[in-house]
Structures are given as C-alpha cells and as structure tokens.
Structure 1
Amino acid sequence: MRTLRFLKKEALHLIKAPETILLMLLFPVILTWVLGTAFSSSKGHVFDLPEVKMPIVSEGGMLSDVFIANGKEGGITFEKTDQEEVDRRVAAGSLKHYVELKDRELILHSDDKGSLEAMLVRMYATTFIKQANLSALAVQEGKLDQVAPQFKSFAEVEGIDGLNEPDSFGFYGVTMLTMIIMYGSIQAMSLLDLEKSGKTALRLKGSPYPMNRVFFAKTVTASAIILLQSLVLILINHFVYGIDYRNIGMVMLMLIPMAVFVTSLGVAAYQVFRSAAAASTFLNLLTFAFVFTGQGYSKFPSDNATFNTLFRLSPIGWINKGLFTYIYQGETGAVLSAGLRLLGLGLVMLLIAYVLYRREEGSDLVAAH
C-alpha cells in the first residue's frame, strides 16, 4: 500500500508538471502538423496514375482500332478527332497534346513533352510499336499464335520493390513520437532529482521505506508515464491527422523497450553527473544527436555511406526502422531486433544507475543539505 501511494505521488508530479503538457504532448502534435503539411508534396511513394484522355487523328483501320483499344488497358483513352477540330483547339490554345496516326506513322504532338500525359503516351506508343513489329515478324515466320498483341497495364507506379511507404504525416507521426519519447529521459531524471530539489530526501531517508524501493518506484513510474504520453500522442495523431499505426496495441507493446531505455538513460545520467542541470544538458544534446542520426528530422540521401553508418548506430534509427517496417509492411523482425537491443542497453544502464545510487546513499544525492 505504501508503494502504491509513493507511485501515485510520483505519477501526479509528472502529470501536473507544465512540461508534460507543453513539451511531451502539445509540442509534438503541433510539430507533426507543421512538418507533415510542409513536406506533404515531397513524401509518399505509392500512387496510382490518373486516367489520361488525349485526342487522336487517324485514317481509321485495324491498326488505329487496336492502338486505341489497347491504350485503355493502360488507362489512356484516345478520343477520335478530325484534323479540323484539332487545328481549331490548337489555335484557341485549349489543346496541349494530340496523337497523329497516319500511313503507319505515329506522331505525338505536344507543347509540354515532359508532362505526365506526354510521358505516358510516349511510353505506351513505344511499347505498342515494338509489339506491332514483333507481330508482323511472327506473321512472316508463320507463328500465328504470337500475332495478337499482349499488353499489360503499366499505368501504376509504386515505391521501390512495390512496398508501401509513409506519406509526410505518416513519417512524422512516427519520428516525432520517438523523438518525444527520447525527451522522456529528462522526465525520468527529474523524478530522481525530485527529493533533493524538494528538500524531502533527508526525511525520506529517515523513513522506514527502503531506498531501493524509492529508486525502482521512480523508474517504473517514469516508464509508465512515458508510455501513457505516447498512447495519448498516437491517439491524437490517429484521430486528428488520420495517421495509420496498423495496430495501436502492438505499437504500444513495441514501445515498452524504448521506454525502459530512455528511463534508464535519464537516471544513469543523473547518477553520473550528480547534477540535474548537467544531466539535462547532456540528455538534450544526446537526444538531438540520436534523432538526427536516426533520420527523425528528415531522411538522408540513401547513397551517403557516412549517414547510413550513423543511422545503423542510432537507437532512434533502430526503433524508427522497426516501426516503419511493421506499420507499412506488416513485418515484426526489425522492431523485435530493435526492442531487444534497446532493452539490453536499458537494463545495463539501469543496473549502473542503481549501483551508483546505492553507493551515494547518504550523500547529497540522497540527503539534501
């Protein structure tokens, strides 16, 4: 019962702290909106190309009919138009592209050859001509079973390897989440400093409550509050911005090792530096370094060996890669690997912090002067 009361006191301290609302909740929500909106046109690699409609001037015949019919397979609709109508629309400035098919010659007329419509038609026309030539050769060789053109829909573009990838909001919905969890290390550090700053350490030390329980109660509380804040942030991102986390319950389970890691980092930094100010400065710098190298602010060029190495060494890079792989590909291998590494490092740091805490019992870190 005494432990539960102590846990409640520690939890209320964190929940009521202004930085909990401002830094851990409002800040990432606003930052996700700002960055998600700013980069909305530069991210997202899976999309379907729009239907393309383009006038065609032809002399009719089977070749023209086959060209038009097969174009529909690729999402391109060729509208039969006479030359007079095309000339009128060109003169009026209302027509940028049209196709001319005469005397077995295929010509794309375009004022913007680099446009999406022009590139699609050029790609289809190239494919059609090659297939038509192969069909003619098949007739000459007597291979009639290979005469019919075989076209497949090519008007769909996906990310590399056909894998789904996050848009800008999906990207920052994960990276801002892990960044804020990293800042939870400062929360954990502040809990350990609470008794000293509040001048209650000496009274607590003189109570019958074991000091080792004080240590573990504070670390458990810090981890629990970090996870609670993460859940609130995920729910806001999901319902306000429409960010998909695949399975929120699974994501929360995957964040437990990271919560342990950042809590251990915070309490270990406090025990090593013996000063809340020094530990806070160190944790802020380390958080920036981890988030930057973990591609939390923006993706690095994939061909940069230095950045790729830094990404592989960053704890934030581990968890970001694991979460993206799970959310957008449904695979858990990367996030489980990241979780094991984070949990291992976290437990080592927690053990070091506990040993230092026990050694310092009775010093200014335990008894306030």
Structure 2
Amino acid sequence: MLLNIMLKEIKQNFRDVKGTILMTLFPFVLMIILGTAFSGVFGEGETTKIKAKVLYKNEARQAVAEGFKQLVETLKENGMTFEENLDETSALDSIKAGKYSCYVVLKDDEIIIYKNEKLDLEANIVESVFKAFIDKFNLMSEIVKYKPEAAKYVLSSEGVNAVERTTLDKKKSPRAIDYYAVTMVSLIIMYSSMAGMYSILSEKTRKTENRLLIAPISKNKLLIGKMLGTIVSTILQLTMVIIASKFILKANWGEDILTVAIILITEAMAFISLGVAVALLFKRESAANGILNTVIPAFAFLGGGYMNIEDIGSEALLKIANISPIRWVNIAILNIIYNNDYSGVSTTLAINVTSIIIIIILCVLLFRKEEA
C-alpha cells in the first residue's frame, strides 16, 4: 500500500506538465541567462584575484620571518590585503566583526590562524596557502639539516617539484555558469515545497481526500507515502537538470558527486516536508501559496541564489543571511567542489535532518487533526 501511494504521487507529478517544466526546464534556462549575464562579474577571461583581507603578527626567527615576508609580497600581487597587527585582542575583535578573513600569528615552530566563518571560503584559501608554505619550509629545514649543499640546488631548480603545492588558479574558481548551476538547483529544490503542498491540497480539489482518509491504511503511512513519492519524483527531475547542466553547459559539479547529492536530497526532503506542513496548517491553496512564495524568494536572496551575498559588503546582511538554509547548502557544496573543504557538510546536514524530523512530526500531528 505504501508503494502504491508512492507510485500514485510520482505519476501525478509527472502528469503535471506545468510542474515538470518548472522543475526541469526553468532552472536550466535560468542557469544560461544568469551565467551569461554575470560572466563578467566572475572575472571570466581575466586573471583570478583572491580578495581576502588578512591581519598578521610576525614573531618568528629571521629565516622563517623572511620567508613569510616573501610569501606576503607574492600574495599581495594576487589581490590579497595584508596588515600587521601586534595586538591580538583588537585583531580578534576585527575578525569577529567580519572586517578581515583571518588573523595569522607566525611563530618559530607554528602558524596559528584565526578564521572568520562568515568569510569561510576566503579564509580557507589563506589557510591552504600557509599549509603549502609550512610544507616547503619544513622540507628546506630538513635539507639544510642533512645536506646543506642541496638547498641551493632545490631553490634554484625551477623544474624540480620538491614539494606538493596548492595552486590557486582560475580552474579552481567557479565561473558564473558553475556558480548558478549550484544555486539554481538549490533554488528549484525550495520550489519543490510547492509539490509537497499540492500533494495534500490536490486531494481536496479532486474530492478524493475523504476516500483516502477512510482507506484501510495507516494514516501515517499514507502521509509518508505521499511525501516519499513527491521526494522521488523531485529527485528524478533534479537529476535530469544536473546531468543537462554538466554535459550541455559544462558546469563543474566536482568529483565527489555523492556528498553533493546527499546534501541536495536532504534539502529536498526538508522543503517538501515544509510544503506538506504549510498545506495542512493553512488548508486553503491561496494562503499556502502566499506563504511559500514569500519565504522562498527571501531565503533564495539571503542564500546567494540570485547573486553572491558577500559581494554586497554588508556585515548586518551577512549575519541575517545565516538564517537561510539555502546559504548553508550553497556554501557547503561550493567549498566541496572548489576547495575540497568538508568542514561545512556536517553543519548543513544537521540543519537539514533536524528540520526534516521536526517538520515530519508536525505533519503527523496536523494530519491526525485533519482526520478527526
């Protein structure tokens, strides 16, 4: 019976031509339009500059300090801003306020990096650069310790790869089409809440609600079957969008598509559940539609769906943006693809899964009330 309910929902969703077009063709067209319109904003065809503002304190011995200074000069040429601040208290306050990406404290035997999570991508780039610096310095220290005469050769030999280095080149920066491929898929997942809403309200429209309520099946199974059917049909539609963007538009979805897929699936489950809850709570289609059409664009804007919210440069807006689950999803996916950074995955999944559990419990309680 549960499988039958699921299949019924999948068939009804794909018979809805308008809904199918919205979930497949619409995001694909948006990727093309926005990816083309904002290609200049993402610096395509130009040298990629890393816009990160860094505070630092250099307390290392001469050899390390000199190497650090050379690295800083190189990074400045690539668009980074470095300012020395010997007062750790004021420096950390500046980091917390979002004025700088991170604060670097250089000592003889370690480099301490304080990062601002709101500027996570920039801070992680800085961290990657200094990891490469540490690797190279450690290598040179060992060479000098055991074979000093080889140090000059390693430093002067351009063709020798003495250490694995992290390259911050244009290929690892998202193009406009790459950015909007991710954000438009996330955006359309939010609109899948409409499908969840219609899965409940359409039964009222077709006058089949009472027939379902008296059917010999657990009401919880009926509700879960409808939600699962909508989730499966949404995943199938999104799979078509991702495949089309990857092979037709050549959008970069990274190598770890499994982790990206898990994040997107949990997001779809959360928003479809939200749509069902709104339908059960407000009952009338016009009211439920109004609520979702107000919440979705607001979350999309705050999540960087239309443009990168960090480019606006408002600290207050960045703080407000953290309420948008779509922001956590977009940042986590972009960090996986372009920085091999999984630090935001657990937080994003925790937000999605917690939302799913809370909303499903609410749906079950509301559906029981509906039955009564």
Same fold, TM exceeding 0.5?
yes
The corresponding residue for 2:314 is 304
Q: Which residue identity lines up with residue 217 of structure 1 in the other structure?
A: G
Instruction: Give a deviation string over 1:30-62, Cα, whole Å, max 9, x none.
Output: 11101111111220479669xxxxxxxxxxxxx
Asked if structure 1 preserves the Cα contact closer than 8 Å seen for 2:5 and 2:229, the reply is no
Q: CA deviation at 1:324?
A: 0.4
2:40 matches 1:5: no
Write out aligned runs for 1:286-325 (5 A): 286-300=295-309, 301=311, 303-325=313-335
Distance in 1, Cα, partners of 2:32 & 2:268: 24
2:266 matches 1:267: no
Deviating 4+ runs (over 4 angstroms): 44-49, 150-153
Instruction: Give a deviation string over 1:319-363, Cα, whole Å, max 9, x none.
Output: 00001001111222212311111110121011112101111214x
**Matching residue within 196, 201, 205 for 1:193:** 201
Instruction: Give a deviation string over 1:154-193, Cα, whole Å, max 9, x none.
Output: xxxx869x99321100010001000000000010110012
Q: CA deviation at 1:151?
A: 12
The corresponding residue for 2:117 is none
Write out aligned runs for 1:173-192 (5 A): 173-192=181-200
Q: Which residue identity lines up with residue 211 of structure 2 in the other structure?
A: R
Q: 1:177 to 1:163 in 2, by over 3 A?
A: same
**Matching residue within 229, 234, 238 for 2:242:** 234
2:261 matches 1:252: yes
Distance in 2, Cα, partners of 1:297 & 1:230: 19
2:361 matches 1:361: no
**Unaligned regions of 5+ residues in structure 2, if any?**
49-151, 160-166
**Matching residue within 173, 177, 193 for 1:169:** 177
Q: TM-score, normalised by structure 1?
A: 0.65
Q: CA deviation at 1:235?
A: 0.3
Distance in 2, Cα, partners of 1:328 & 1:169: 14
The corresponding residue for 2:57 is none
Write out aligned runs for 1:133-144 (5 A): none
The corresponding residue for 1:366 is none
Asked if structure 2 preserves the Cα contact closer than 8 Å seen for 1:173 and 1:243, the reply is yes
Distance in 1, Cα, partners of 2:316 & 2:364: 36
Asked if structure 2 preserves the Cα contact closer than 8 Å seen for 1:44 and 1:166, the reply is no
Distance in 2, Cα, partners of 1:332 & 1:46: 29
Asked if structure 1 preserves the Cα contact closer than 8 Å seen for 2:227 and 2:273, the reply is yes
The corresponding residue for 2:349 is 339
Write out aligned runs for 1:20-35 (5 A): 20-35=19-34
The corresponding residue for 1:134 is none
Classify the secondary structure of the residue corresponding to 2:308.
coil
Distance in 2, Cα, partners of 1:14 & 1:21: 7
Distance in 2, Cα, partners of 1:18 & 1:257: 25
Classify the secondary structure of the residue corresponding to 1:313.
coil
Q: Which residue identity lines up with residue 370 of structure 2 in the other structure?
A: E
Distance in 2, Cα, partners of 1:294 & 1:34: 19
**Larger displacement relative to structure 2 (299-308 or 234-243):** 299-308
Classify the secondary structure of the residue corresponding to 2:371.
coil
The corresponding residue for 1:142 is none
Q: Which residue identity lines up with residue 295 of structure 1 in the other structure?
A: G
Q: Which residue identity lines up with residue 336 of structure 1 in the other structure?
A: S
Q: 1:164 to 1:302 in 2, by over 3 A?
A: farther
Q: CA deviation at 1:18?
A: 1.7
Which of structures 1 and 2 has the bigger CA Rg? 1
Q: 1:3 to 1:266 in 2, by over 3 A?
A: same
- How many corresponding residue pairs? 258
2:63 matches 1:41: no
Q: CA RMSD in A?
A: 2.6
Instruction: Give a deviation string over 1:265-294, Cα, whole Å, max 9, x none.
Output: 101111221212211111111110000011
The corresponding residue for 2:141 is none
Q: CA deviation at 1:302?
A: 5.7
Instruction: Give a deviation string over 1:88-129, Cα, whole Å, max 9, x none.
Output: xxxxxxxxxxxxxxxxxxxxxxxxxxxxxxxxxxxxxxxxxx
Classify the secondary structure of the residue corresponding to 1:332.
coil
Classify the secondary structure of the residue corresponding to 2:344.
helix
Distance in 1, Cα, partners of 2:243 & 2:313: 35
Q: 1:317 to 1:240 in 2, by over 3 A?
A: same
The corresponding residue for 1:85 is none
Distance in 2, Cα, partners of 1:195 & 1:327: 41
Distance in 2, Cα, partners of 1:200 & 1:285: 29
Q: Which residue identity lines up with residue 341 of structure 2 in the other structure?
A: E
2:293 matches 1:284: yes
Classify the secondary structure of the residue corresponding to 2:30.
helix
